[in-house]
Structure 1
Amino acid sequence: MKPVFKPLTIVTSMLFTSMLNATSLPIDSIRLPPGFSIDIYADNVPNARQMALGDNGTVFVGSRKAGKVHALIDSNNDGHANNMIEVASDLFLPSGIAFHQGDLFVAEVDKIWRYPNIEATLPAIPQPQLVFDKLPNKSHHGWKFIAFGPGGKLYIPVGAPCNVCESDLPFASILALDIKTKATSIIAKGARNSVGFDFHPVTGELWFTDNGRDMMGDDLPDDELNHVSQAGQHFGFPYVHNADIIDPEFGHKASHIHNRAPALNLGAHVAALGMEFYQGQQFPAQYQGSIFIAQHGSWNRSSKVGYRIMQVTLDGNKVSEYKPFATGWLQGQTSWGRPVAVLTMPDGALLVSDDAANAIYRISYQQPQ
């Protein structure tokens, strides 16, 4: 299905919607380290998922169930979006978006679209261009998280079409797409369902989160943080989980793969999604180069876990610390929000999207007195 878009002749005032102040979200319950605070950047953003930052400061937001993409504009630079523009609707789980060389890229389950030079035309929306349509159309784990790598290729995960199964490539892999030649290559295999990744700011190597399989109990297996040191490495699924847990259904075939161990086990069922290496200048020095991971939260565990932002500190390529950074979306066994993705803004503040509360938060830092 081709995206529904607004042609260039539409009157500007028809596209802008004033953002409402979020008075009902209990952000006072969010706990952060000393000096940090959290505010609402935007609310009423339907099913907010991955975010991408335009060259002029526009924050683009994908969705999953809503089937829409929006552009958020903070026109007075006060840290709160005051205008929201609908970029597209009626899309097939358009969770993943990326901004590259002035163009917005939107990932449906089976297609990649380009909206050329979009910030120059807003609030009118340019005609979308089909970039790639050779992705599988399976919706199970089919929604995407996309990003351009250091070499200019578009990285696209293709989740396994099941809880656990053997499937042909490109399922359970991460691809790199040359958007000019349309050629793809396999970057990582045995990745069950990656909905977040970033590139190391020094080495340029890919690090990604991966959601572990279900139906092995409350505590097995862990979600993973993985590091790709060489293209084509295998990360175990569906044969081995967390490097040494043999799958009860497919583990008898584990001997034929040479799987790479995770850089870090993140906890079972936490639903680790978006992640980013922090490269802003606002946070204190000990946060530079840290990985922030959004944990969406469990859906099938007897007691809930996740629903938070975690910080991972590296020493070279080794994890030296793993600890909570922002918590409070889960109160007891009741959750009021589910973090999805993180995005560093030009001023160094960190945005967090929430597809359950339909909101985007802004976490900032000021030196305590």
Structure 2
Amino acid sequence: MLVALAGSFIAGGAHAALPIDEIKLPPGFSIAVLSDDVPSARAMALSPKGVLYAGSLDGHVYALELKDGRVTAKHVIASGLDEPAGVAWHNGALYVSAISRILRFDDIDDHLEAPPKPVVVTDKLPSDRSHGWKFIAFGPDGKLYVPTGAPCNICNPDPKRYALIARMNPNGTDYEVFANGVRNTVGFDWDPQTKELWFTDNGRDMLGDDIPDDKLNHAPKAGMDFGFPYYHGGDVADPEFGAGHPCSGFTPPVVKLGAHVASLGMRFYTGTMFPSDYKNNIFIAEHGSWNRSTKVGYRVVRIVPDANGEKPRMETFAQGWLRPKEQVWGRPADVLPMPDGSLLVSDDYAGAIYRITYAQP
């Protein structure tokens, strides 16, 4: 059931202060709480008018009015949706994923107090809840890219329906599979120079603490296969499905991100606030492990190419949501570079959005 809410709230509710001083960043960087009142905050999208939209896993879609790096008002533009994790902005409208449906809120920037009834773009996506919530985004081709994860930890599902990234026209027509063998991507972006797709992919569970790796993949064209369910992490054959499927038949990852770190939202950094060597780097939100004997993840990492733009390396950028004795107080879910060059990080565990800035030390 969908219920559109015509409610708005002034930012700054009564919440226990988050221990933001525990977050460690490189010299010159600072982090602040943009809002601590966005429950289950997941993917983020910014409108040209400066309204920040955030999806969630608790049925709500939020809108935060921003001014000078601060929230001036919070609005709930929808509730009662089915895990509306993904949000994307296109031609004056907000697109929202809700498991089997994609909804569109037209002219929403000008109707935050009284949100319009959403238009159903499509209601023909799988309804499975396992890996069913979706990160969505518009590509340089004007198409809406929509993934559908595998409906399991490990299985061999219909490749036309699951473990894929698809794309469609903004009105939901011409649905086509763009990439196969993708177990569960919850973040992707396009290289600002080449306009080619990059995406994170979560590896399977129950093969031990240290295999297989989550992956950062590169899909410069349609029709590529990234290995699921036959191969994981680029070089780990699945014990049930791997026989007879050599890894040479699949596209390997560009970067192995580590096992069980739960790499979710990712974006290329195109701003000018950060040092020049951050230009066109990739930031990835690591949500953190849930079933590893020792916890890993719970941080934001930076993917840095070498001088030739190849052989990228991974560096920890922000950490501290996981305390030394494995106490967790936050789980990064998405990252979003802002027009002023700052970087936003959503946290669905703390129900918060953080803003990271830089000043020459």
TM-score normalised to the size of structure 2? 0.96
1:210 counterpart (201, 219, 238): 201
| Alpha-carbon distance between aligned partners in 2 of 1:73 and 1:347, rounded to the nearest angstrom | 15
1:351 to 2:348 alignment = no
Render the CA deviation track for 1:82-106: whole Å, top value 9, x for unaligned. Answer: 3110010011110001011110000
AA aligned opposite 2:216? L
Query: What letter matches 1:330 in structure 2?
Result: L
Query: In the aligned structure 2, how far is the partner of 1:336 from the partner of 1:15?
Result: 27
Q: Does 1:84 align with 2:36?
A: no
Matched, 1:70 2:62: yes
Contact residue 15 and residue 124 of structure 1 kept, 8 A: no
Identify the residue that residue 284 of structure 1 maps to in structure 2: 275
**1:136 alignment counterpart:** 126
SS at match of 1:50: strand
Partner of 2:4: 5
Report deviation, 1:72: 0.5
1:286 alignment partner, SS class: helix
Report deviation, 1:181. Answer: 5.9
Q: Do the aligned residues in 2 keep the contact of 1:243 with 1:262 (CA within 8 Å)?
A: yes
Looking at structure 2, the residues matched to 248 and 221 of structure 1 have their Cα atoms a distance apart, in angstroms, of: 12
1:295 touches 1:308 (CA, 8 Å); kept in 2?
yes
Aligned length: 358
Kept after mapping to 2: 8 A contact 1:21/1:43: no
1: CA distance, partners of 2:89 / 2:316: 29
Residue 354 of structure 1 deviates from its aligned partner by 0.2
What's the CA shift for 1:343? Answer: 0.6
Cα displacement string for residues 128-174 of structure 1 (whole angstroms, at most 9, x for unaligned residues): 10111110000000000000000100001100000000000220000
- Distance in 2 (CA, whole Å) between partners of 1:87 and 1:211 is 30
Partners of 2:8 and 2:73 within 8 A in 1: no
Which of 148, 158, 178 is the aligned partner of 1:158? 148
1:256 CA drift (Å): 9.5
Alignment of 1:150-189 (within 5 A): 150-168=140-158, 169-180=160-171, 182-189=173-180
1:14-53 to 2 correspondence within 5 Å?
14-20=7-13, 23-53=16-46
Task: State the percentage of identical aligned residues.
Answer: 52
Q: Which consecutive unaligned segments of at least 5 residues does structure 2 have? A: none
Q: Among 348, 351, 365, which residue is 2:358 paired with?
A: 365
Structure 1: gaps (5+ residues): none
Give the whole-Å Cα distance in 2 for the aligned partners of 1:180 and 1:33: 43
> Could you tell me whether the CA contact under 8 Å between 2:255 and 2:313 is conserved in 1?
no
Matched, 1:116 2:117: no
| SS of corresponding position for 2:200 | strand
Is contact 1:41-1:362 (8 Å) kept? yes
The corresponding residue for 2:315 is 323
Q: Distance in 2 between matches of 1:81 and 1:227?
A: 35
* Higher alpha-carbon deviation: 189-198 or 316-325: 316-325
Q: What letter matches 1:235 in structure 2?
A: F
Partner deviation per Cα, 1:52-89 (whole Å, 9 max, x = no partner): 0011100000001x111000012xx2322131100100
Equivalent in the alignment of 1:54: 47
The TM-score normalised by the length of structure 1 is 0.94
Q: Closer, same or farther in 2 for the Cα pair 1:55/1:21, shift >3 Å?
A: farther
Distance 2:48 2:152 in 1: 38
What is the RMSD computed on CA atoms of the aligned residues? 1.5
One-letter amino acid matched to 1:313: V
When residues 218 and 252 of structure 1 are mapped into structure 2, their CA distance, relative to the original with a 3 A threshold, is same
| Superposition map of 1:153-302 within 5 A | 153-168=143-158, 169-180=160-171, 182-255=173-246, 258-302=249-293
Q: Distance in 1 between matches of 2:89 and 2:247?
A: 39
Which consecutive segments of 4 or more residues in structure 1 shift more than 4 A? none
- Counterpart amino acid of residue 314 in structure 2: Y
Aligned equivalents of 1:181 and 1:361: distance in 2? 33
18-27 or 35-44: bigger deviation: 18-27
- 8 A Cα contact 1:102 1:116, kept in partner: yes
Work out the CA distance in 2 between the residues paired with 1:89 and 1:181: 22
Paired position in structure 1 for 2:86: 96
Contact 1:309 1:339 in 2 (8 A): yes
Counterpart AA for 2:147? P
The answer as to whether partners of 1:16 and 1:123 remain within 8 angstroms in 2 is: no
Counterpart of 2:198 in 1: which secondary structure?
strand
Q: Shift in Å at residue 344 of structure 1?
A: 1.0
* Deviation string, structure 1 residues 193-234 (Cα, Å, up to 9, x no partner): 000000010111110000000000000000000000221100
CA distance in 1, matches of 2:302, 2:336: 14
Q: 1:106 aligns with which of 89, 93, 96?
A: 96
